[in-house]
Amino acid sequence: MKLILDAGSKITKWMFVVAGSALTFIMGITVVDVLLRALGHPFVGTYEIVAFAGSAVIGFSIPLVSWEMGHVRIDFLLAKLPKRGRMLMNIITRVMVIILFILIGINFFMIGREFYDAREVTATVNIPLYPFPFGLCVCAFIQAFVIFCDILKIQEGKYE
């Protein structure tokens, strides 16, 4: 079990580095675009590139936020339950979230497959669209894994 939790921790930290790099890239390309616009030569495709990098920022940052429980959590109802009831409710909600993220991942995979089959590209700079839904598909499956790790933490009594 420790091996699984260690793997989850390392994967989420690596993903957060990717998200941070994408965010830094967005800031850099935006600055370059603003400077080039001031000189009369805007950077072509900035909007598309920033949108794709934004999907990476969101998709790759969610697992670490969940891992560290950095999300908003309202548990005033759970606080009134006994410890066993809290554990049960936490496990039930985590199973529902796992199912949700598996479905999200499957849908992203199908979208990516459709983009790949159609050879869909962006309008301005002809960037293929399919890698981005596939990347978000992987992020969704890793998020499901992170939530599974939450269940392991709950069973060990290390969640709250």
What is the distance between the alpha carbons of residues 108 and 102, in angstroms, rounded to a whole number? 10
What is the distance between the alpha carbons of residues 42 and 34, in angstroms, rounded to a whole number? 7
> Which pLDDT score is estimated for 64?
94
Domain count, the chain: 1
What is the distance between the alpha carbons of residues 89 and 69, in angstroms, rounded to a whole number? 16
Mean pLDDT throughout 87-94?
90
The model's pTM: 0.90
3-state secondary structure of 81: coil
Task: Give residue 111's pLDDT band: very low, low, confident or very high (50, 70, 90).
Answer: very high
Mean pLDDT throughout 59-73?
89
What is the distance between the alpha carbons of residues 25 and 16, in angstroms, rounded to a whole number? 14
Task: Give residue 103's pLDDT band: very low, low, confident or very high (50, 70, 90).
Answer: very high
Task: Give residue 160's pLDDT band: very low, low, confident or very high (50, 70, 90).
Answer: low
Domain span at residue 112 reads: 2-156
Q: What is the mean pLDDT of the chain?
A: 92
Angle of the 83-118 helix axis to the 131-156 helix axis, nearest 10: 170
Contact 118, 90 (CB under 8 A): no
